[in-house]
């Protein structure tokens, strides 16, 4: 399979009940590389609500999607991810909760996030040598969203605004929604997904993923955090 971009994700464990529900909710299983049936929820168009995040699969971004530099190889990236994971310890948090991020819904961690933020920062910094320079068109598109000076500096240096001190771990569950749909969708997720969420919430591996020619992200490999 050929990939146009790569990313480092936290990919929830496939066997967990909350993962199964949330994967079905989005409609794309990046680990299996196939579409899955959405749950039928009265009053909610799940297909429409999840259209934007579907292509990425169920994940939290640690190193945002990037194109591989011309002078770097996939094999070198694959090995560097393994080396990074071998030096990072697993992360344990109090749990996850359903929350609003502006106009979209996501899962966010409960409890102290210092170790989690450090893991994400290591992914951003240590793997950046594999990232191709950001195009002027991409820079312009990102800046049009209205970035803070810190986010603008991150965009130039790291290719993405929301990294390092601007990073907020989240597992996206919807696109941007109007207020009534946002409220109704949050109620549904609170009823169906919240009871399944883990306490504590643990991150034990990193996932190297790739965007394939179908426009969707596929899980390439999991690396155990063993530092």
59/41 Cα distance (integer angstroms): 22
Q: Where are the domains of the chain?
A: 3-111+170-224
The residue-averaged pLDDT of 60-83 equals 97
Assess whether pLDDT exceeds 90 at residue 75: yes
**Nearest of 131, 95, 130 to residue 203 by alpha carbon:** 95
- Please check whether residue 91 is in contact with residue 218, taking contact to mean a CB–CB distance below 8 angstroms: no
- Please report the pLDDT score of residue 194 as a whole number: 98
- The per-residue b/e assignment along 108-120, b for 16 or more CB within 10 angstroms, e otherwise, is bbbeebeebbebb
79/201 Cα distance (integer angstroms): 27
**pLDDT tens sequence across 118-162:** 999 999 999 999 999 988 888 888 888 788 989 988 999 999 999
The more confident residue out of 141 and 116 is: 116
- Please report the pLDDT score of residue 23 as a whole number: 98
- Please check whether residue 59 is in contact with residue 10, taking contact to mean a CB–CB distance below 8 angstroms: yes
The more confident residue out of 156 and 19 is: 19
Bridge partners (DSSP) listed for residue 105? 100
- Please report the pLDDT score of residue 137 as a whole number: 86
* Helix residue spans in 27-113 (DSSP H): 46-49, 51-54, 74-86
- Please report the pLDDT score of residue 90 as a whole number: 98
- How much of the chain, in percent, has pLDDT values that exceed 70? 100
Start-to-end C-alpha separation, the chain:
31
**pLDDT tens sequence across 185-220:** 999 999 999 999 999 999 999 999 999 999 999 999
Which CATH class for the 3-111+170-224 domain?
A: alpha beta
Residue 18 pLDDT grade (very low, low, confident, very high; cuts 50, 70, 90): very high
104/143 Cα distance (integer angstroms): 20
- How much of the chain, in percent, has pLDDT values that exceed 90? 89
């Amino acid at each position: 399979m050929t990939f146009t971009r790569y990313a480092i994700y936290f990919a929830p464990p496939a066997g967990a009940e909350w993962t199964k529900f949330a994967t079905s909710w989005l409609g794309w299983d990046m680990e299996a590389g196939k579409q899955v049936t959405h749950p039928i929820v009265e009053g909610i168009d799940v297909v429409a609500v999840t259209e934007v995040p579907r292509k990425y699969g169920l994940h939290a971004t640690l190193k945002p999607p990037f194109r591989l530099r011309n002078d770097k190889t996939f094999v070198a990236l694959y090995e560097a991810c393994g080396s990074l994971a071998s030096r990072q310890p697993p992360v344990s948090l109090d749990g996850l909760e359903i929350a609003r991020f502006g106009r979209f819904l996501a899962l966010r961690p409960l409890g102290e996030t210092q170790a989690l933020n450090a893991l994400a920062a290591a992914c951003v910094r240590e793997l950046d040598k594999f990232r191709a320079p950001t195009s002027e068109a991409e820079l312009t598109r990102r800046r049009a969203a209205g970035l803070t000076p810190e986010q603008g500096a991150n965009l130039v240096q790291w290719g993405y605004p929301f990294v390092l001190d601007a990073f907020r771990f989240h597992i996206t569950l919807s696109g941007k929604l109007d207020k009534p749909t946002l409220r109704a969708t949050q109620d549904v997720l609170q009823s169906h997904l919240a009871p399944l969420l883990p306490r504590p919430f643990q991150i034990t591996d990193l996932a190297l993923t790739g965007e394939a020619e179908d426009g969707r992200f596929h899980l390439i490999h999991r690396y155990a955090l063993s530092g």
